[in-house]
């Protein structure tokens, strides 16, 4: 459920000499430049050093509709930065000897079932948190993204058995969200409390994170909340809020930089905040220990040698220093939390536009200052790279739409679409209706209303669906398979753009015609 974020998590640092942090004025300028370069309406930034919050401030506006200002208490959806809270919740239960990291999931959720019977029986609590299940990137995310769909927790648990693996168990990193939802249910089965209640009572309340809630619905005060924004037909605007249904344990928390300071201070203090030990040092070390190796194909400007995933955090080396980080993305908002423990440094960047270049530029420029890296301009660097990537992707999609336009002119509107029309069903996603409305061809999803759009003939039995909601930057190929009579029998799908958010896991869908 994380967006196509414009950065890798494995960002490095240069050798520490005598570091000088950016001044408050310099950070102000950096953020303002980032907002302009990446067209982000509102950002909140916090910097923590040596156990103290040295910068904590909001910039810009919460919403282009209201133009109300962002401050340090403005609430953002932190999306996948929620995952570390789920790992910590399980860690608290480990401390209480109510479970072990390597207990089998089926010991607590007997109905848990994956595609492979062997993997099902061997799957552990640790496996839920480490993105090594064998399922593909973002597998099953369409059950809660981009809509607040009607998939229940029971549905999600049941449907996992239909998600086919793309690699062997515990051999390859592929980021997932649904298994964190299962992890949240383990918290419920073991503690007797919902994940929301447990995280609230055992983490948020003890830390005094009074403005934070485990979901948008549970916020007591919504007067200082951002709206999400996205480019729609080339112009950034407010988009509809996705409350992400049952996926709170994977990405539901709403928080502010002021509250998240307390969470980062707790992490940097090995589970301790003030005189409270939230979770043990042993649990803390387990969270910060590499569990799944992630390939590093290019060391980059920070000379990163290794990357991995721990329990709720990405872990990498940055010029010889250990870095813990995570990003989070929902439609219309992206966030990043970064920690360099040996420097006792934490950086939090929350944004209300789904453009990840801003948080990357801000985080890296602040880190550069602590490592006496001079002469860099991360805003300019990331903006140039972003523009190059967008230009390449737009060239590809534009060429496809040009082919469609040419084909339409040549066809004179002659096509027997009835051979494709009907209801098609995917075993985990449900039904879609292919039909003709007012002379146009339509794709309508029953369980994910945002996934409704017009179908345009492309090549042979392939079409392109253009989603009616243009905030969804995920137009896709719709490929029909035919039966022996030349009638539509099946559908497969694939995103058009290489920059499509991985949570649009169209490639995992296998529709078969039911009437």
Q: What is the pLDDT of residues 94-122, one digit of tens each?
A: 999 999 999 999 999 999 999 999 999 99
pLDDT at 303: 87
| Nearest residue to 53 via CA among 351, 489, 348 | 348
Element (H, E) at 333: strand 333-340
Is it the case that residue 5 has pLDDT exceeding 50? no
Q: Hey, what are 478's tokens?
A: 């719709």
DSSP state of 108: T
For residue range 118-165, what is the model confidence (pLDDT) as tens digits? 999 999 999 999 999 999 999 999 999 888 678 999 999 999 999 999
Picking from 99, 331, 89, 91, the residue whose alpha carbon sits closest to that of residue 196 is 89
* Among candidate residues 442, 458, 464, 479, the one with its CA nearest the CA of residue 408: 458
Convert 492-515 into a string of H (helix), E (strand) and C (coil). EEEECCCCCCCCCCHHHCCEEECC
- The answer, yes or no, to whether residue 14 has pLDDT greater than 50, is no
213 neighbors 195 (Cβ within 8 angstroms): no
User: For a pLDDT cut of 90, what percent of the chain falls above it?
Assistant: 85
Identify the band that residue 203 occupies on the pLDDT scale cut at 50, 70 and 90: very high
Q: Give pLDDT tens digits for 237-259.
A: 999 887 766 789 999 999 999 99
Burial of 441 from C-beta contacts in 10 A (0-12 / 13-18 / 19+) = buried
Which of helix, strand or coil describes residue 66?
A: coil
Residue 410 has pLDDT above 80, yes or no: no
Q: DSSP letters of 164-199? A: -BSS-TTTS----SHHHHHHHHHHHHHHSS-HHHHH
Residue 360 pLDDT more than 50? yes
pLDDT confidence bin for 20, thresholds 50/70/90 = low
| Of 386, 340, 342, the residue nearest 360 (C-alpha) | 386
Residue-wise pLDDT tens digits, 67-88 = 999 999 999 999 999 999 999 9
Give the pLDDT of residue 17: 39
Residue 409, pLDDT > 90, answer: no
**For the chain, what percent of residues have pLDDT higher than 70?**
95
Cβ atoms of 66 and 381 closer than 8 Å: no
CA nearest neighbour of 141 among 507, 511, 505: 505
Stretch 353-357: mean pLDDT: 90
List, in order of start, the domains of the chain with CATH numbers: 24-376 (3.40.710.10), 412-513 (2.40.128.600)
Strand partners of residue 84? none
Question: Lowest-pLDDT range, 89-98, 184-193, 343-352, 468-477?
Answer: 468-477
pLDDT at 7: 37
pLDDT at position 387 is 94
Is the pLDDT at 11 greater than 60? The verdict is no
Provide the angle, in degrees to the nearest 10, between the axes of the packed helices 378-411 and 24-38.
10
- What's the mean pLDDT in 417-422? 93
Mean pLDDT value across residues 418-438: 96
Q: What's residue 413's pLDDT?
A: 62
DSSP state of 104: B
What is the CB neighbour count within 10 angstroms for residue 315? 23
Phi first, then psi: give them for residue 169, nearest 5 degrees. Answer: -55, 130
The answer to whether residue 368 scores a pLDDT higher than 60 is yes
pLDDT value, residue 297:
87
**What is the pLDDT averaged over residues 467-487?**
95
The model's pLDDT over 336-354, given as tens digits with 9 standing for 90+, comes to: 999 999 999 999 999 999 9
Distance from C-alpha of 64 to C-alpha of 14, rounded to nearest angstrom = 38
Phi, psi of 129 (to 5 degrees): -105, 0
For residue 443, what pLDDT is reported? Answer: 98
pLDDT higher than threshold 60 for residue 439: yes
Residues 366 and 344: their CA atoms lie apart, in Å, by: 14
What's the confidence (pLDDT) of residue 480? 98
For the chain, counts of helices (H) and of strands (E) = 12, 22
What's the pLDDT band for 261 if we cut at 50, 70, 90?
very high
Where residue 19 falls among pLDDT bands split at 50, 70, 90? low
Mean pLDDT across the stretch 182-195? Answer: 98
pLDDT at 3 over 60: no
pLDDT computed for residue 412 by the predictor: 67
Encode burial over 161-171: b for 16+ CB neighbours within 10 A, e otherwise. bbbebeeebbe
Evaluate if residue 12 carries a pLDDT over 80: no
Asked whether the predicted pLDDT for residue 418 surpasses 80, the reply is: yes
pTM of the model: 0.93
């Amino acid at each position: 459920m994380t967006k196509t974020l414009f950065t890798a998590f494995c960002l490095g640092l240069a050798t520490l000499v005598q570091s000088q942090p950016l001044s408050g004025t310099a950070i102000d300028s950096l953020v303002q430049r980032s907002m302009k370069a990446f067209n982000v309406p509102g950002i909140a930034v916090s910097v923590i050093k040596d156990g103290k919050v040295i910068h904590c401030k909001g910039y810009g506006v919460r919403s282009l509709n209201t133009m109300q200002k962002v401050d340090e208490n403005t609430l953002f959806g932190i999306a996948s930065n929620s995952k570390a809270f789920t790992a910590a919740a399980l860690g608290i239960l480990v401390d209480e000897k109510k479970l072990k990291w390597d207990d089998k999931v089926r010991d607590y959720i007997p109905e848990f079932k994956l595609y492979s019977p062997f993997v099902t029986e061997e799957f552990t609590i640790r496996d839920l948190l480490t993105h090594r299940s064998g399922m593909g990137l973002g597998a099953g995310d369409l059950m809660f993204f981009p809509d607040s769909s009607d998939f229940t927790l029971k549905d999600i648990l049941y449907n996992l058995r239909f998600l086919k693996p793309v690699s062997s168990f515990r051999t390859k990193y592929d980021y997932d969200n649904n298994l964190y939802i299962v992890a949240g249910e383990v918290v419920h089965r073991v503690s007797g409390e919902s994940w929301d209640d447990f995280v609230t009572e055992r983490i948020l309340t003890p830390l005094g994170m009074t403005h934070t809630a485990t979901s948008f619905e549970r916020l007591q005060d919504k007067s200082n909340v951002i709206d999400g924004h996205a480019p729609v037909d080339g112009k950034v605007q407010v988009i509809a809020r996705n409350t992400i249904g049952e996926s709170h344990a994977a990405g539901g928390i709403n928080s502010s930089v002021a509250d998240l300071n307390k969470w980062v201070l707790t992490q940097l203090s090995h589970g301790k905040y003030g005189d409270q030990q939230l979770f043990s040092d042993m649990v803390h070390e387990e969270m910060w220990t590499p569990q799944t190796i992630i390939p590093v194909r290019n060391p980059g400007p920070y000379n990163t040698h290794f990357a991995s995933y721990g329990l709720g955090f990405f872990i990498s080396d940055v010029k010889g220093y250990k870095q813990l980080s995570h990003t989070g993305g929902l439609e219309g908002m992206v966030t990043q939390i970064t920690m360099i423990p040996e420097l006792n440094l934490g950086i939090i960047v929350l944004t209300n536009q789904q453009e990840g270049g801003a948080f990357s530029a801000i985080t890296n420029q602040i880190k550069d200052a602590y490592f006496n890296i001079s002469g860099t301009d991360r805003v300019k660097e990331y903006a140039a790279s972003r523009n190059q990537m967008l230009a390449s992707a737009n060239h590809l999609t534009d060429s496809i739409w040009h082919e469609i336009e040419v084909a339409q002119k040549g066809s004179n509107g002659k096509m027997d679409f009835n051979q494709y029309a009907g209801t098609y069903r995917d075993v985990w996603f449900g039904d879609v209706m292919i039909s003709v409305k007012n002379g146009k061809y339509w794709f309508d999803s029953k369980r994910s209303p945002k996934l409704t759009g017009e179908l345009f003939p492309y090549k042979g039995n392939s079409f392109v669906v253009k989603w009616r909601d243009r905030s969804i930057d995920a137009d896709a190929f719709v490929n029909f398979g035919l039966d022996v009579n030349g009638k539509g029998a099946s559908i497969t799908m694939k995103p058009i753009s290489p920059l499509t958010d991985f949570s649009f896991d169209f490639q995992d869908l296998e529709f078969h015609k039911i009437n």
